[in-house]
């Protein structure tokens, strides 16, 4: 715990806030606990930081409070060896965010209003208390294994294996088939991946395989799967083909498997000859069997009911989009085809490639590319324009109304075409996109030896995709130490898959090296802390093990938690779950946040001093959104006090109880979005908090406190403009209800 704290104010960041008044208040309140209190014109200046270092040496400071800009700004310049640093946000979430109760904003250069100074004093006090409740974590000794497991020998897996070996790591490459190459083995060519990006070309697969098999650092295991992956990042044991291998991390490049082709039945697949999938057409092309001269290529085309028929044509393990109908859904007729979850540019690119196959094979060939949306990214526009100009290829937006067989030929009925009227196109063959399902769908694949089961946790929206946060943290799965690359992660072409494999490999290396130093990998990269358990008070309720989103906790035969610290993402969800409050982090714990809440100055009379509202803001989306709102000139009530939390999943009910017993009039919980289109950085944190809120509501009702004094809001980082309105709305509710019944006690 920080016992001798230096408090430093950055006047350049405080606007009209009186730094001298704040510094005097710190000295009076904390005395010898804060032996150094200084105001600098510009705290970020090198001269100021040198003076802080001098104070640390001369005064023996073990804690530093930087009072100025947001901790999201200049985060890299306030680091001092063996000293705990706390950033107190007096700029973005105090000076810049302040508005008077009547909605006006104080004039620049004037005197700070009393309410603004009260807000600043609370933040400074809470920051110092936080330092006094913070210890420097001491992670256990740990030695990582410098070997990477790569699962999948297709394009992405081959790239990952070669990349890891090039960086000096040993590799175990596991392929379920008898030879390397994956889905790329069935491809004739790839869409152009090199200048001038106008013609399809050979893959170069044989050379890629040779690079891997000839590398002494890569051990290839064929006809095998991962039977079990036990242990923890940095020290896994992988059981493969009856052998055990010690590995530090894994790259999951297992690719995809075809969607159930019965879902294509409404378009004649399986009942009408020459209605094939794009995967089957690719195989015909490679075998030189493109006999049909008139072919319709259908890509994410709408039915008469307006939904996508299917998504993702065939291209290669690393090029596939993904699509899968709801489990158990049965098509009855064309109109019943449901909109599928996924569609991508891969559909368009593969249709263009295969239309060119046809024209290459037949000088008088006719390729009809019928689409709802033609999606061509970046440099691939060159390929699209080349296809546009080629005789024999006709493209049109179209709504497919039916596919029938007449007199030995196929007839595609289409409406809303670029030709204006409904048309009927006679063809020899129809090519339907190959629906692609990730290899992890309904298949454990990694076969984790975890309390939480062998598979990745199911994400309904993503139909088996191994994903942790698909926007902010690519490659990461919900099992720390395992990183996804290629089409097991999301739709992509071969060039993107190559980059993907390199990225996932770098993440695996980061994981190994981070575990070796005892720090977390993501999203709190470099965090030395880990959950500490007071097992004496543990009641074996298993809430922590059940609610951990990342499988970081096993349990023994009695149900006592068994932590795996290198699996942990340091979100604190286990801490929020524990009813006995026996879980903590050295630098983030129940007592720390509770003490900060109890230090908020709450007026006894709401009429004179105004209400007080506590905001617990997720540090990943909500806290940055508040910063961004203030920077863009948006302000909020002077009666709120904001405390950042690692995740709403870490919010323990006792914090709400602390706030209510203090007389605080309301608590806002600002966290990431959750649900079908979730983006919670810790996957389930916001959702878990929402469930716990129901229990909090019951407790409040028993105490005679209105449950809606505690409310949760979902905030994405790009919704910063909505946050002030949320706060204003909540404050209106507080004013309408009046003071907390516990105020003044």
Tens of pLDDT, residues 277-316: 998 999 999 999 999 999 999 986 433 323 333 333 333 3
Strands 226-232 and 235-240: antiparallel
Q: Does domain 532-584 have CATH number 3.40.50.720?
A: no
pLDDT of 469 > 80? The answer is: no
Q: Which fold has domain 261-437?
A: FAD/NAD(P)-binding domain (3.50.50)
pLDDT of 89 > 90? The answer is: yes
Band of the pLDDT at 372, cuts 50, 70, 90? confident
pLDDT of 75 > 90? The answer is: no
Fold match between 1-136 and 588-745?
Answer: yes
Give CATH for domain 588-745.
Answer: 3.40.50
Taken in order 418, 421, 424, 430, is the CA torsion positive or negative?
positive
pLDDT of 459 > 60? The answer is: no
Q: Is 390 exposed, middle or buried (0-12, 13-18, 19+ CB in 10 A)?
A: middle
* E strand or H helix that includes residue 555: strand 553-555
- Collapsing DSSP to helix, strand or coil, 29 comes out as helix
pLDDT of 676 > 80? The answer is: no
pTM of the model: 0.86
As a whole number of angstroms, the distance between CA 569 and CA 678 comes to: 18
Ranges 66-75, 82-91, 311-320, 437-446: which has the least confidence: 311-320
Band of the pLDDT at 138, cuts 50, 70, 90? confident
pLDDT of 616 > 60? The answer is: yes
Torsion, CA 269, CA 271, CA 272, CA 275, rounded to 10: 20
Domain limits, the chain = 1-136, 147-255+439-517, 261-437, 532-584, 588-745
Band of the pLDDT at 336, cuts 50, 70, 90? very low
As a whole number of angstroms, the distance between CA 693 and CA 698 comes to: 9
Q: Does domain 1-136 have CATH number 3.90.650.10?
A: no
Tens of pLDDT, residues 45-63: 999 999 999 999 999 999 9
**Hey, which of 113-127, 493-507, 671-685, 687-701 has the most confident mean pLDDT?**
113-127
Per-residue three-class SS string for 347-405: HHHHHHHHHHHHHHHCCCCEEEEEECCCCCCHHHHHHHHHHHCCCCEEEEECEEEEEEE
Determine the pLDDT at residue 140.
81
Determine the pLDDT at residue 695.
83
pLDDT of 327 > 50? The answer is: no
* Termini Cα distance of the chain: 30
Six-digit token string for 216: 């002494």
Determine the pLDDT at residue 110.
87
147-255+439-517, which class in CATH? alpha beta
- Which DSSP symbol is given to 107? P
Band of the pLDDT at 694, cuts 50, 70, 90? confident
Give the CA distances from residue 79 to residues 1, 56, 62, 451, in Å, rounded to whole numbers and listed in that order. Answer: 17, 12, 12, 38
Tens of pLDDT, residues 561-592: 999 999 999 999 999 999 999 999 999 999 99
């Amino acid at each position: 715990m920080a016992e001798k704290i230096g408090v430093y104010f950055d006047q350049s960041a405080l606007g009209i806030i009186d730094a001298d008044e704040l510094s005097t208040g710190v000295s009076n309140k904390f005395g010898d606990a804060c032996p150094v209190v200084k105001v600098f014109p510009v705290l970020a200046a090198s001269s100021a930081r040198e003076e802080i270092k001098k104070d640390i040496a001369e005064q023996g400071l073990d804690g530093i409070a930087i009072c100025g800009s947001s901790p999201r700004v200049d985060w890299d310049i306030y680091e001092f060896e063996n000293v705990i640093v706390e950033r107190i946000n007096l700029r973005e979430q105090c000076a810049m965010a302040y508005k008077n109760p009547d909605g006006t904003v104080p004039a620049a250069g004037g005197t700070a209003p009393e309410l603004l100074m009260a807000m600043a004093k609370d933040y400074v006090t809470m920051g110092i208390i936080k330092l006094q409740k913070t210890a420097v974590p001491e992670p256990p000794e740990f030695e990582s294994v410098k070997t990477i497991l790569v699962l999948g020998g297709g394009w992405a897996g081959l790239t990952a294996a070669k990349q890891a070996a090039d960086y000096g790591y040993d590799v175990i490459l596991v392929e379920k088939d008898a030879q390397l190459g994956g889905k790329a083995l069935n491809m004739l060519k790839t869409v152009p991946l090199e200048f001038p990006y106008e013609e399809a070309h050979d893959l170069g697969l044989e050379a890629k395989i040779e690079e891997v098999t000839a590398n002494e650092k890569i051990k290839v295991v064929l006809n095998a799967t991962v039977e079990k992956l036990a242990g923890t990042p940095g020290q896994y044991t992988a059981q493969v083909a009856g052998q055990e291998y010690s590995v530090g991390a894994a790259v999951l490049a297992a690719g995809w498997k075809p969607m159930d082709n019965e879902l294509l039945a409404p378009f004649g697949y399986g009942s009408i000859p020459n209605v094939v999938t794009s995967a089957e057409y690719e195989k015909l092309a490679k075998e030189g069997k493109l006999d049909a001269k008139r072919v319709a290529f259908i890509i994410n085309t709408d039915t008469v009911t307006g939904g996508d028929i299917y998504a993702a044509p065939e291209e290669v393990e690393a090029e596939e989009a993904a699509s899968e109908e709801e489990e158990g859904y049965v098509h009855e007729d064309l109109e019943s085809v449901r909109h599928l979850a996924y569609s991508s540019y891969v559909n368009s690119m593969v249709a263009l490639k295969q239309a060119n196959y046809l024209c290459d094979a037949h000088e008088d060939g006719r390729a009809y590319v019928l689409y709802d949306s033609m999606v061509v990214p970046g440099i691939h526009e060159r390929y699209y324009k080349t296809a546009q100009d080629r005789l024999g290829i006709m493209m049109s937006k179209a709504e497919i109304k039916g596919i029938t067989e007449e007199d030995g030929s196929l007839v595609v009925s289409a409406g809303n075409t670029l030709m204006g009227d409904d048309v009927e196109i006679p063809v020899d063959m129809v090519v339907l996109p190959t629906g692609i399902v990730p290899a992890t769908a309904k298949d454990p694949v990694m076969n984790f030896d975890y309390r939480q089961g062998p598979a990745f946790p199911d994400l309904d929206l993503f139909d088996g995709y191994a994903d942790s946060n698909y926007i902010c943290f690519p490659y990461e799965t919900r099992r720390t130490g395992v990183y996804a690359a290629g089409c097991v992660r999301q739709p992509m072409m071969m060039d993107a898959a190559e980059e993907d494999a390199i990225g996932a490999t770098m993440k695996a290396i980061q994981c190994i090296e981070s575990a070796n130093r005892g720090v977390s990998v993501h999203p709190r990269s470099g965090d030395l802390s880990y959950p500490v358990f007071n097992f004496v008070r543990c009641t074996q309720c298993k809430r922590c093990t059940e609610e951990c989103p990342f499988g970081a906790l096993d349990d023994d035969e009695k149900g006592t938690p068994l932590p795996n610290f290198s699996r942990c993402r340091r979100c604190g969800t286990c801490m929020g779950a524990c009813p006995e409050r026996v879980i903590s982090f050295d630098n983030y714990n129940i007592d720390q946040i509770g003490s900060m809440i109890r230090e908020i100055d709450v007026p006894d009379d709401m009429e004179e001093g105004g209400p007080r509202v506590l905001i617990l803001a997720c540090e990943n989306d909500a806290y940055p959104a508040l910063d961004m709102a203030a920077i863009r000139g948006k302000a909020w009530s002077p009666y709120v006090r904001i405390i950042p939390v690692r995740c709403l999943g870490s919010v323990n009910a006792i914090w709400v109880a602390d706030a209510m017993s203090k007389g605080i009039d309301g608590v806002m919980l600002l966290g990431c979005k959750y649900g079908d289109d979730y983006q919670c950085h810790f996957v389930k944190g916001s959702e878990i908090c929402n469930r716990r809120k129901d229990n909090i509501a019951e407790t409040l009702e028993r105490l005679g406190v209105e449950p809606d004094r505690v409310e949760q809001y979902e905030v994405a980082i790009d919704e910063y403009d909505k946050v002030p309105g949320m706060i204003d709305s909540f404050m209106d509710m507080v004013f309408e209800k009046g003071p907390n019944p516990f105020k003044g006690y």
